[in-house]
Amino acid sequence: MAAAMRLVVTGRHGQLATALAERAAGRGITLIACGRPELDLERPATIAGALGALKPDIIVNAAAFTAVDLAESEPDRAHAINAAGAGDMAAAAATLGVPVIHISTDYVFDGSATKPYGESDAVAPLSVYGQSKLAGEQSVMAACADHAILRTSWVFSATGQNFVRTMLRLAETRSEISVVADQIGRPTPADDLAEAVLGVAANLLAERGEPALRGIFHVGGTGEAISWAGFAEAIFAERGRRGASAVSVRPIGTADYPTPARRPAWSVLDGARLKEIHGIILPDWRIGLARCMDRLMTTEQAP
Cα-based distances in Å from 7 to 17, 74, 243: 11, 31, 40
Q: In 3D, which of 217, 238, 156, 235 has the Cα closest to residue 192?
A: 156
Establish whether 117 is a catalytic residue: no
Q: Is 223 exposed, middle or buried (0-12, 13-18, 19+ CB in 10 A)?
A: middle
Under 8 Å between Cβ of 39 and 50:
yes
Phi (first) and psi of residue 235, to 5 degrees: -65, -45
Phi (first) and psi of residue 42, to 5 degrees: -85, -5
Provide Rg for the chain, Cα atoms: 19
| Given 107, 117, 129, 257, the catalytic residue | 129
Kindly list the strands in the beta sheet with 100-105, ordered across the sheet, starting from the edge strand earlier in the chain. Answer: 29-34, 5-10, 58-61, 100-105, 147-152, 215-218
Positions marked active-site: 129
